[in-house]
Each structure stands twice: as structure tokens, then as C-alpha cells.
Structure 1
Amino acid sequence: MPSVETGSPGPLTASPPVRLQFAQKAFITAGGRLLMVRKAASDPFHPGRWEVPGGRLDVGGDLDLDDHIRREVWEEVGLKIDPGPPFHLWQWFMDDRSPDVRGGRIRVVAAARHCRPLTLDVAFGNQDESDHLDGCAWVPLDAVCSYPLIPSLRPVVRAFLPLAR
């Protein structure tokens, strides 16, 4: 019979912490076009890539989900919207760049929502520096997939396009 070692497996090492965050993204359409925003060259994760407005929810905030997506869109592109129901859920991981966390990761769980614009004039005056946006465009639906999208957004766009037509 072969021998079996029954000792300690060795020193345990603590794995880096993983924080959970929730985000919402607004798929805003008007006239057969989707409003997309471009990440600036200063963006630490996806410089020059395209996505849709939205952002992560502050855990300690007192906004409900509809108010959160309204605020994100207002801050990023200056539009007022009517939030619709979620149509897709997805997740991604990113490095935690908080100064007090070394080697940690963030798991972001996101909801995509089809939103109706109440205004159409885009403005960047409300942006926060951390948004890292330098442009936007109303993109024809049949051209959206030709843009260099943030990789995690590609399956969401594919789920959205049949719903938007």
C-alpha cells in the first residue's frame, strides 16, 4: 500500500482581497443611434476605447438605482434620461488601485439598461476627472460593433442590438 503523507500542507498565504462593486450602464438610443462615450488617453484601464455612459454605485450612497443611473448619465454626458429595465447582467474584474490595498482586485457586477433620452444635447461640463472621457458620438446601430469597444462590453452590445431594432 502506498504511503500517504498527513502533515501540514505548508504555510498558508493570504490571497489578495477581492471587493465587490455594482455598476449600471445606460444604453441610450435616439433616431436609430446609440450614444457612446470614448475613454481618454488618461484612462488607466481602456484608453481610447468606446463604451456607454454609466458607472459604479457608491456603497454608502443613498440613491436608488434609477437615481444612480440618472446621475451617472447627467455627470458624464449632460443628458436627462428615463431609465428602463435591465436587459443584461455581466461581470468583469479589475485591479484595485486604492492606496490602502496591495494586489487586490475588484469584481464588478453590472446591469445594462435601455434608457430613453429626455434631452439630446450632450455636454461634458458635469464630468468628474475620474470619468476619463474625452468624446462621445451618436453611433448608428449598424456601426456600433465596428468601434473599438471595451472588451467586456462586446457581449452586452450583441445582446442589445436585436432589442434596439
Structure 2
Amino acid sequence: MPSVEAGATGPLTALSPIGLQFAQKAFIVSGGRLLLVRKSASDPFHPGRWEVPGGRLEVDADLDLDDHIRREVWEEVGLKVDPGPPFHLWQWFMPDRGPAGGQIRVIAAARRCRPVTLDATLENQDASDHLDGCAWVPLDEAAGYDLIPSLRPVMRAFLNRAG
């Protein structure tokens, strides 16, 4: 491969820009049941599929990682949780809807969280969450739900640890 002078365009500069974001997902268990949320028909990426509560870090607003996961769970399902340590890391890519276009690489951590409250509600969610349902699902049935694809290996890891 020919060398490239400093500051000159090289083979990688022709690629679309890739942004980086961090997300956390909460695996909330109570009484042998896991809380799942369903994406609405308006979700641009995974309409009708199931996942666990969570979302991307707000760099200017979240004080620390525990604050971040507490905020996400509160906004999506109205629960207060006690965050546990991460048990799985993974990534996914999504289109960047900003003016630059390109892609966003999302690095995510899954955390088992203990619920402090149990009455889940979707009333706090932001419209961009695109959720239309939530359910406390028996652990032995959780893998049978139509999960978003990137969450499937994480669910297997969670269930292997839970069982």
C-alpha cells in the first residue's frame, strides 16, 4: 500500500463518518420474571420487537453510569431500580440521522438491576423511545419472544447466568 502524506486524503477518508455512543440495558428481575418492553409500529428500526429498558448516554445530563441507567429505566417504564454490575458488553451499528449522515457505533453494557418499585408504566417515555407495551415475562419464556437481533446473544448470556 502506498504511503499517505500527513493530512492528505487516504483510503479511509472516503468512508462515511462513524459516530460513537454508549448505551446501557437493564435486565430487571422480580419474582422469577424479567421486564421486557415492546417497540411500537412507528419504531424506525425494530417495529413490534421486544427488548429490555435502556438507552444511550446523555453526555451533558447523566452524572455517572448508575444515574444513566436509573434515568433510562425511569423514562421508559417508570420504575426505580438499584443498578448492579455489567454482565455483558456488545455493539451494534445504526444510521446517523444527523446532517453528516454516516453511521453510529453503539457500545452497550447490560446490567442486572434490582427493582425498587414494580408498577411499570409507559407514561414517562419520550416519543423517540417508540414503546407501546411492557410485560413481566417468566424467565423460561423470555428467549421465546421476538427480540431485536442485537439483544439475542445478550439474552442468552443473561439466561445462562440466571439459570
TM-score normalised by the chain length of structure 1: 0.89
Question: Residues 121-164 of structure 1, C-alpha deviation per residue, up to 9 Å, x if partnerless?
Answer: 01111110000000000011111111000000000000001222
> 1:59, CA displacement in angstroms?
2.6
Greater CA radius of gyration, 1 or 2?
1
Matched, 1:60 2:42: no
Structure 2 CA distance for aligned equivalents of residues 67 and 118 of structure 1: 15
Aligned pair 1:151/2:149, yes or no? yes
Tell me by how many angstroms 1:97 deviates. Answer: 1.1
Question: Is 2:54 the partner of 1:71?
Answer: no
Q: What SS is found at the alignment partner of 2:121?
A: coil
Task: Flag as ranges the 4+ runs of structure 1 deviating above 6 A.
Answer: none
Report the alpha carbon displacement of residue 62 of structure 1 after superposing the two structures with TM: 4.1
Matched, 1:29 2:47: no
The equivalent of 2:118 in structure 1 is: 120
Give secondary structure in 2 for the equivalent of 1:156. helix
- Percent identical among aligned pairs is 75
Residues 1-165 of structure 1 correspond to what in structure 2 (within 5 A)? 14-98=14-98, 100-102=99-101, 104-165=102-163
Segments of structure 1 that go 5 or more residues without pairing to the other structure are 1-5
**Partner of residue 7, structure 2:** none
- RMSD of equivalent CA atoms: 1.6
Distance in 1 separating the partners of 2:89 and 2:61 = 21
Report how many residues are paired.
155
Structure 2 residue runs of 5 or longer lacking an equivalent are: 5-9
